[in-house]
């Protein structure tokens, strides 16, 4: 908020007795101060030779506090400053005080979490982004990279204000760890027991079929492959996978 008043009339009146200032139709005594526009204090100065002038000597904050030109006062969660320029222009500037609350109503110094992000109400009611929080509760400070569930995760605030918590590396750059201890590249298929897995993003090996000894091909999910007198069956039920073999031989 900024209110400005420019003033200054200096008028010579040639009446030697009881010189008064005139301000918007009002007569003012020497040294009398009036408040105009609810924000500025104007003082009357007269000379014995009959000249007078009115001068802005200060401001008045909305709560009635008087502030001299060039001074500022902090009251409650607001700062009011009475600014005077060399040209004689005086402005009453209002800004948030150090202890001002944040737009969401949080108090100065208060911390809170929204989704996976932590904030603090900083000085002047400014919201500061301070950290990311993983689902397991682990905290990564803003601008840093940490581990969540074994993955490198970067917590950052971009120049456009957007905040993100995302994998520090390309999703496809992660290798999968097979049960035998070997590492598999993204897209690579490998056998683990009776299942065939494909290394997916973030190093997640996904079951794509079943594997049977001596059968040259992968048995696709929810399909049967018959070889000789044996049916190989690979099924997915919800999140469970199963591999079965049936014999076609009549008993
Ligand atoms: C009156 O006196 C003041 C201060 O001494 C001076 O600045 C001003 O010019 C004088 N005015 C007249 C009309 O003589
Ligand atoms: C903000 O910047 C980030 C990083 O440069 C970018 O990924 C994102 O799309 C941008 N968001 C908007 C709304 O511009
Ligand atoms: C696979 O074969 C088994 C045993 O004959 C049968 O119960 C099942 O329905 C078959 N599944 C499919 C997908 O054909
Ligand atoms: C999957 O397997 C688990 C453990 O054996 C079992 O409790 C669950 O009911 C199974 N789910 C389905 C959809 O069959």
Summarised one tens digit per residue, pLDDT across range 97-152 is 889 999 999 999 999 999 999 999 999 999 999 999 998 899 999 999 999 888 88
Domain enclosing residue 160, as ranges: 111-167
- The alpha carbon of 47 and the centre of ligand 1 are apart by a number of angstroms equal to 7
What tens digit of pLDDT does each residue of 178-203 get? 999 999 999 999 999 999 999 999 89
Mean residue pLDDT across the chain: 90
Q: Which residues pair with 227 in a beta bridge?
A: 230
Domain boundary among 144, 167, 190: 167
Residue 49 in domain: yes
Does the pLDDT value for residue 247 go beyond 70?
Answer: yes
Q: Which residues pair with 193 in a beta bridge?
A: none
Q: Is 81 helix (H, G, I), strand (E, B) or coil?
A: strand
Residue 126 in domain: yes
What tens digit of pLDDT does each residue of 63-82 get? 899 999 999 999 878 999 99
Residue 105 in domain: no
Q: 33 and 86 share a domain?
A: yes
Residue 102 in domain: no
Residue 104 in domain: no
- Of 8, 6, 5, nearest to 52 by C-alpha is 8
Residue 101 in domain: no
Segment 106-111 long-range contacts (CB within 8 Å, at least 24 positions apart): none
Q: 157 and 84 share a domain?
A: no
242 lines ligand 1 (CB under 6 A): no
Q: What pTM was estimated for this model as a whole?
A: 0.53
Does the pLDDT value for residue 12 go beyond 70?
Answer: no
Does the pLDDT value for residue 10 go beyond 60?
Answer: no
How far apart, in whole angstroms, are the C-alpha atoms of residue 208 and residue 178?
14
Q: Whose CA is nearest to atom 4 of ligand 3?
A: 246
Distances (CA, A) of 235 to 18, 178, 232: 108, 21, 10
Q: 16 and 71 share a domain?
A: yes
Q: Which atom of ligand 4 is nearest to the CA of 237?
A: 13
Residue 103 in domain: no
Contact 153, 165 (CB under 8 A): yes
Count structural domains, the chain: 3
Domain boundary among 167, 188, 213: 167
């Amino acid at each position: 908020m900024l209110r400005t008043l420019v003033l200054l009339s200096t008028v010579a009146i040639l009446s030697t007795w009881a010189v008064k200032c005139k301000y918007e139709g009002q007569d003012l005594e020497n040294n009398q101060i009036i408040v105009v526009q609810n924000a500025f204090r104007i003082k009357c100065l007269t000379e014995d030779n009959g000249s007078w002038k009115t001068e802005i000597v200060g401001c008045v904050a909305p709560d009635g506090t008087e502030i001299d030109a060039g001074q500022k006062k902090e009251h409650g969660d607001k700062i009011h400053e009475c600014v005077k320029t060399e040209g004689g222009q005086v402005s009453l500037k209002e800004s948030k005080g150090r202890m001002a609350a944040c737009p969401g109503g949080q108090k100065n110094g208060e911390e809170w979490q929204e989704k996976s992000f932590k904030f603090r109400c900083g000085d002047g009611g400014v919201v500061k982004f301070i950290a990311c929080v993983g689902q397991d509760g682990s905290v990564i400070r803003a601008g840093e990279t940490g581990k969540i569930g074994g993955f490198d995760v970067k917590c950052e605030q971009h120049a456009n204000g957007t905040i993100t918590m995302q994998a520090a590396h390309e999703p496809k750059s992660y290798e999968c760890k097979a049960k035998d201890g070997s590492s598999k590249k993204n897209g690579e298929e490998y056998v683990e027991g009776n299942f065939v897995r494909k290394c997916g993003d973030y190093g997640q090996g996904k079951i794509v079929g079943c594997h049977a000894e001596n059968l040259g091909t992968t048995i696709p999910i929810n399909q049967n492959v018959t070889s000789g007198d044996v049916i190989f069956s690979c099924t997915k039920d919800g999140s469970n996978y199963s591999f079965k073999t049936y014999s076609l031989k009549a008993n």
